[in-house]
Structure 1
Amino acid sequence: MSAEVVHQVETPHRRIAFTFDDGPNPVYTPQVLEIFREVSGQATFYMIGEQMEKHPDIVKAAFAEGHEIGNHTYTHPPMTERSTSEQRLEIERTNALIEQLTGRAPATFRPPYFNTDSTLEQLVASYGHRSIGALNGDARDWEQPGASHIVEVSRLHAKNGSILIFHDGYGDRSQTIEAVRTLAHELTAAGYQLVTVSKLLEDALSTAE
């Protein structure tokens, strides 16, 4: 199991992974699900344990529609500022909750704030998880820079094997929803398939073989 953070994968297929952090949120996550129904795509949701406890039905609905639920810790701390035992607790509590709600253990992990180091990456790998980054962090959708900015920056990073980050939790995410709706339809029309991160990782393995 590689401990390196994955921002994109090498694949000949026109596939891109949209990822959503910090949910589930009762206002915005259902809107994301609706967009992905419109384009017959799947996404990966990096959900926070505390939020999943509050909105378990949304977790179950997302999973039932074919989306992937990834580990984004239980309380969203800067993980490198926590002890190893605290890091383990964040990962394990969230893993247990995801498995309880979906019947499937998560395969991937995203560190809050992209805050990581080699020690944390090795710990994550010891659980059998890949650490996931993203190419379009400079879109900074969490700062509400405007839907057009989110679209334009994310578009620059849209290519085979890209992993893109957006946020459906905490604060007003209406700009993100507008941007994701535009991008999802645009990229699908351009021949891209929107898939889960795990699907992209499978592509990378099959290509390597």
Structure 2
Amino acid sequence: MRVNDGVAPVTRRALLWSVAVLPLAAACSTPAPAPAPAPAPVAVPAPTTPPPPVTTRPVAPPTGEVARASTGRPEIALTFHGAGDEELARAVLTALHDRGAAVTVLAVGTWLRQSPDAAKMVTGLGHELGNHTYSHGDVDSMGAASVRTEIERCRDLISAAIGSPGAFFRPSQAQHATPEVIRLAAAAGYPTVLSYDVDSKDFTDPGALAIRRNVASARPGSVVSMHLGHPGTLTAIPGLLDDLAGRGLTPVTATRLFS
């Protein structure tokens, strides 16, 4: 019989337990791997102020030239070359206003410059203002650059006076506009060039009766060419309006006529 010397005997179960636990403890005591280094910060460029947008003047596509409306309404447009003595012009426009007639004045730029109140006088009496070039030269004999300048200088005077470039452009010393003039007018803000189909010939000072006879050819939709700076025109206005009324025709602005 074996004598116990004070040390507990090692059993098979204890031995197996130690074999299983020791590797696990060793594994648990292994230090955790070091974390991966953080990526270096990416440099972000400082924000910059974007450049201001490029603005261009909108250009309306040219619709061409108009000389007569086809609405069928019993209306005509009396259109006036805007130049001459300011008081005579005021008398003509007042006589029209007092009879309830609204007209379109195609102003010459030099007239607007010499008579600073002329533009507001036209619109203040209920009439419409348009562009008839700056100096009333022969547009058909000018190069493109000169025509552009003529249109734009008058446009700028109208805009300064009434806050808009006016309703229409009409070439000077020409009843009809060339394709080049139509293109240049559209680029300056006038997509429609206003011509006429009836010429009163009042600028020849033929007398009031002759002016009335010349306008008698007007029909519904007609555009009549007249002038502010001639005394015979003022004399003709009352009878001319009576003639139109007797035929059932109402004078309106060109914008109204073509709307």
Please tell me the TM-score bracket, short chain as reference: 0.7 to 0.9
CA distance, structure 2, for counterparts of residue 150 and residue 27 of structure 1: 21
CA distance, structure 2, for counterparts of residue 144 and residue 117 of structure 1: 28
1:122 equivalent in alignment to 2:179:
no
Matched ranges for 1:1-209 at <5 A: 1-23=61-83, 25-114=85-174, 116-129=177-190, 130-137=192-199, 139-157=200-218, 159-169=219-229, 173-202=230-259
User: Aligned partner of 2:172: which letter?
Assistant: P
SS at match of 2:73: coil
User: Aligned partner of 1:122: which letter?
Assistant: R
Structure 1, unpaired ranges of 5+: 203-209
User: Aligned partner of 1:149: which letter?
Assistant: A
SS at match of 2:216: helix
Contact 2:97 2:126 in 1 (8 A): no
Shift of the 147–133 alpha-carbon distance from structure 1 to 2, 3 Å rule, reads: same
CA distance, structure 1, for counterparts of residue 75 and residue 144 of structure 2: 36
State the shift of 1:3 in Å.
Answer: 4.7
Structure 1 range deviating more: 177-186 or 74-83:
177-186
Q: Could you say which structure has the higher helix fraction? A: 1
Contact 1:21 1:72 in 2 (8 A): yes
User: Aligned partner of 2:256: which letter?
Assistant: K
CA distance, structure 2, for counterparts of residue 100 and residue 112 of structure 1: 21
CA distance, structure 1, for counterparts of residue 237 and residue 198 of structure 2: 13
SS at match of 1:112: coil
The count of corresponding residues between Structure 1 and Structure 2 is 197
Cα-Cα RMSD: 1.8
Larger radius of gyration: 2
User: Aligned partner of 1:183: which letter?
Assistant: L
Per the normalisation by structure 1, the TM-score is 0.86
State the shift of 1:12 in Å.
Answer: 2.1
**Which residue does the alignment assign to 2:23?**
none
Post-superposition Cα deviations, 1:153-181, rounded to whole Å, max 9, x if no partner, equal 11112x21111011113xxx111112233
Contact 1:50 1:74 in 2 (8 A): yes
Per the normalisation by structure 2, the TM-score is 0.71
State the shift of 1:67 in Å.
Answer: 1.0
User: Which fold has the larger relative contact order, with Cα–Cα distance below 8 Å and residues 6 or more apart in sequence?
Assistant: 1
User: Aligned partner of 2:138: which letter?
Assistant: P
State the shift of 1:189 in Å.
Answer: 4.8
Shift of the 24–67 alpha-carbon distance from structure 1 to 2, 3 Å rule, reads: farther
CA distance, structure 2, for counterparts of residue 18 and residue 160 of structure 1: 12
CA distance, structure 2, for counterparts of residue 24 and residue 194 of structure 1: 22
SS at match of 1:134: coil
Structure 1 range deviating more: 84-93 or 184-193:
184-193
Shift of the 51–123 alpha-carbon distance from structure 1 to 2, 3 Å rule, reads: same
| Runs ≥4 residues deviating over 2 A | 1-5, 125-128, 188-193
Identity over the aligned pairs, expressed in percent?
A: 27
**Which residue does the alignment assign to 2:48?**
none
SS at match of 1:131: strand
Shift of the 153–133 alpha-carbon distance from structure 1 to 2, 3 Å rule, reads: same
